[in-house]
A and B are shown apart, each in its own frame.
Chain A
Amino acid sequence: MEYLIGIQGQDFVLVAADNVAASSIIQMKHDYDKMFKLSEKILLLCVGEAGDTVQFAEYIQKNVQLYKMRNGYELSPAAAANFTRKNLADYLRSRTPYHVNLLLAGFDDTDGPGLYYMDYLSSLAKAPFAAHGYGAFLTLSILDRYYRPDLTRDEAVDLLKKCIEELNRRFILNLPSFTVRLIDKEGIHDLEKLTLGSK
């Protein structure tokens, strides 16, 4: 139903998420933002069960901000990803596990860009590209075929557009628009929303 995708380049990470907030068969909102800003250079993309996504993502977001307030510097993306995974793992075998699938994308000043894939069983993997949702079945092979570690920004956006075209062609559900953001050493940039009509 929901779709997340991330592509890491040489010095940037490109992420996109669909904009539909659904409740059983009805689209309640067409412009819902599934990305949560953890810090100046870290984004958390979160999909899954209805209330769990916002609760968990906001919890992580506030804790990362608290760390910055307490210590005077921000968590690195790797540290934030491991912190998120630890929280997911702690809640996994409790009475109230969080059923959320996440992508964490960030830029570290020393290590460069990073994309981390996490799922509801609290697995964590650093990957050059990743996707969540049913749409991932359709788009991962496109990413496998065309991805190169030295993609430029424009090439990465083109690759993203290829993936979304495939979704529009073959995916049974209607995902009309996608929020796209890019993280590099300058921070988080909003790119143009990709809608059905765009080539």
Chain B
Amino acid sequence: MALQDLCNFQDIFQDSLTKLCFLGTFEKNTACDYVSSLSTRSSTSLFNFYIPAAEYLDESPIQFGQISNIQSSSAISSQESILSPSSLPTSLPFASSQSVPLPFPMSHGTTTLAFMFQGGVLAAADTRSSCSGLVACPASQKILPIHSHLVGTTSGTSADCALWKRILARELRLYQLRHGRRLSTRGAAKLLSHMLHPFKGTELCVAATLCGWDGGEVDDGCHAGTVIDLRGRGGTTKSEMTDQEKYLDTLNEKVSLPETQSSTFSEQYFARKKVSFSGPGLFYVCSDGTRLQGTLFSVGSGSPYAYSILDQGVRWGLTVDEATSIAREAVYRATYRDAYSGNCVDIYHITSNGWTRRTREDLKEEYYREKERRRHEGRGRQDVTVSE
């Protein structure tokens, strides 16, 4: 088939069908069953993810481009430091002791944020690309769509983010073609995290939040037994479950375990498959290996400023307009205080119908509008004192 030649895809399913008759209980032909049962055999790997690897990357990425021993030993080691260089702006970006000196000075300044609410997921980011004290581009795009229902905010090194987003988009598209359904946001986050893992400890810096909507996935329905939430939410009589938490409880993929110990192996094994769901998903993935699921994230040098605004105003029950205005205000306040964020703000809204993008708004206007408002308030107060 043309697709096979294009993707270099061997028809593993056909070959393995005959070998899988020892698992007698399953009859279904869906791809996900093959994935789970193939994992017991180490010979074939279903996912051959191609990671771009030039010859110089065959050696350890840490050893790449070592110029001289003297240079490497005198540089500061950033491996042990608690504060990672990517999240706080540094005046002089320093190289870690084992890697090549940077070709030109880079810094990681940005403000991006994303949060979940009743109307879907909202992602916002500024548009300033800085490069050691200069504004390299005042109109860059920090929110990159990956597919129709998944958008990723980027922070860190722009080139790394753009590349890895494209690689992720390719892998997700291939998954969709092979399995007939979109990979969930959780799966995409795990995939990105595992693709970035070999580069841990190098200068690669990608801190992304993946915002997406998972929907319409086929539930293969072969789980049995009760569902146990392993997230330690015991004592429900005392803990207050807000609307948001209840929603998340139903959304979160739960592992179902059979109660009886006498069930056979294959039943137990298939019962461990995840329940698929439809709804919003928000994950934070960082090149240092962090992978977190949540309902509110902000990344970048301006993120502390944005967090303080968002923590005050974000609730589950926001309308779309309210959510947009709070996202815009959070980015605005961050750009006001942080030198490495600024210019305009991009806002993307993801719903079950996909993502929509607002026209880019210049934050300069917001600044002047606020100045006007302050002036009006000041005049109002003056009038009051005069009349008294």
Residues of A in contact with B (beta carbons under 8 Å apart): 1, 21, 23-26, 28-29, 31-33, 35, 37, 49-52, 54-55, 66, 69, 72, 95-96, 179-181, 189-193
Contact = CB atoms under 8 A, between A and B. Distances in A.
Contact of A50 (B40, B288, B294): B288
Contact of A52 (B60, B231, B239, B289): B289
Secondary structure at chain A's binding surface: helix, strand, loop or mixed? Answer: mixed
B284 interface: yes
B83 interface: yes
Interface string B199-240: 011000000000000000000000000000011111100110
A66 B292 CA distance: 25
Interface of B: 40, 60, 62, 82-84, 87-88, 193, 197, 200-201, 230-235, 238-239, 265, 269, 284, 286, 288-292, 294, 297, 303-304, 307
B232 A24 contact: no
Contacts of B84: 23-24
Sorted from nearest, which 6 A-B pairs have the closest CB atoms? A51-B289, A192-B235, A190-B234, A179-B232, A50-B288, A50-B290
A31 B231 contact: yes
B252 to A, nearest CB: 11
A72 to B, nearest CB: 7
Given A51-B286, A54-B289, A192-B238, 7 more contacts: A26-B307, A28-B284, A33-B231, A96-B200, A190-B233, A193-B232, A193-B234
Contacts of A31: 231
A26 to B, nearest CB: 6
Contacts of B303: 26
A51 B197 contact: yes
Contacts of A28: 284, 290, 292, 294, 297
A35 B232 contact: yes
A23 B291 contact: no
Contacts of A29: 292, 294
11 contacts: A23-B87, A25-B88, A26-B303, A33-B232, A35-B232, A50-B286, A50-B289, A51-B197, A54-B291, A95-B62, A190-B233
Nearest to A33: B231
A24 B82 contact: yes
Contacts of A35: 232
Contacts of B230: 33, 37, 190
Among B84, B234, B269, residue most surrounded by chain A Cβ atoms (within 10 Å): B234
Contacts of A179: 232
Contacts of A55: 197, 289
